[in-house]
Amino acid sequence: MGDFADLKCPFTLGHSRAVAELAENAGKCAGLPQDEIDILRRAGYVHDLGRIGVSNRVWEKPGELTHAERERAHLHPYLTGRILARVGGLKAVRDVAVNHHERLDGSGYPNGLRDDGLSFRDRVLAAAESYCAAMEPRPHRDALDDTAAADQLRSEATRGRLDVDVVEAVLEAAGHRQSRRAARPAGLTRREAEVLLHVAQGLSNREIASALWISEKTVRNHVEHIYTKIGVSNRIGASLYATRHGLTGSAPH
């Protein structure tokens, strides 16, 4: 299905497979469990199905798009969701695939989702797709080399549009050297380390949500991922793990 969608334009040939492979490997670098990695890979294969619902006059236009053309192009993730909604058993894949152009600051599309509305899988696929697209030519620009693509991805993270930890996982999967950052055990992301710290300090999920300005549902998801990564099943085990690994210092701002 992804290969078929990529045949829509000559410059997207192989795009979906490249995104799927990079997202899968980034998930491994981030320490995600295998079932989450499988969903990432499958979402990567089919994320651009909606492109077939937009005219090639839009995709192949060499100049700047009009407002109407841009609005049409921004519909393609929504169309992907409409297609996948008709296939039984693909709900988890669909939920990730439709968000591949969403951004943490709400500037993405089609729904303008923000930080706590985007799962870790959403963030990985978005960063992987952005990196792969940057290295492919488009009618309005040339392809970037791998160094420029990495710089662009890190710039997006610095501006708060992509997740910093996810970007480093994607770049590591793509063969880039990681930027300097504090080492965290068990593949914990920066946010997961923050949540674990608050768990160790005895805060409830509601209190953690308030402290980090995220939803309680997002905290629950982070706690579940933390348990899986560090091999515990409750808050006592998580607190002991945090203590043993020196993660119980002052809470980050």
Q: Identify the pLDDT of residue 251.
A: 40
* Maximal CA-CA distance, the chain: 59
Looking at 125, 142, 173, which one is the last position of a domain? 173
| Alpha helix stretches (DSSP H) within the chain | 2-6, 15-29, 34-46, 56-59, 67-73, 76-84, 91-97, 120-134, 146-158, 164-173, 190-200, 205-212, 216-230, 235-244
Segment 195-201 shows an average pLDDT of 90
* CATH code (residue 230): 1.10.10.10
Give the domain range for residue 191: 185-244
Q: How many domains does the chain have?
A: 2
**Token pair for residue 61?**
């236009």
Whole-number Å distance between alpha carbons of 104 and 126: 10
**Which pLDDT band holds residue 252 (cuts at 50, 70, 90)?**
very low
Residue 252 or residue 100, greater confidence = 100
Contacts of 6 (CB under 8 A, 6+ apart): 12, 13, 14, 15, 16, 17, 48
* Distances from the Cα of 207 to the Cα of 116, 212, 224, angstroms: 15, 9, 17
Segment 211-236 shows an average pLDDT of 90
Specify whether 136 is located in the same domain as 233. no
pLDDT digits (tens, 9 = 90+) for 129-182: 999 999 999 999 999 999 999 999 999 998 889 998 899 999 999 999 876 554
The closest of 177, 39, 37 to 98, measured between CA atoms, is 39
Specify whether 148 is located in the same domain as 39. yes
pLDDT digits (tens, 9 = 90+) for 49-99: 999 999 999 999 999 999 999 999 999 999 999 999 999 899 999 999 999
Residue 151 lies in a domain: yes
Q: What is the pTM of this model?
A: 0.76
Specify whether 150 is located in the same domain as 229. no
Burial of 163 (0-12, 13-18, 19+ CB in 10 A): buried
- What length is written for the chain? 253
Q: Identify the pLDDT of residue 51.
A: 96
Looking at 125, 145, 173, which one is the last position of a domain? 173
Residue 8: phi and psi, rounded to 5, are -55, -40
Q: Identify the pLDDT of residue 49.
A: 97
What does DSSP assign to residue 115?
G
Residue 22 lies in a domain: yes
Looking at 128, 153, 173, which one is the last position of a domain? 173
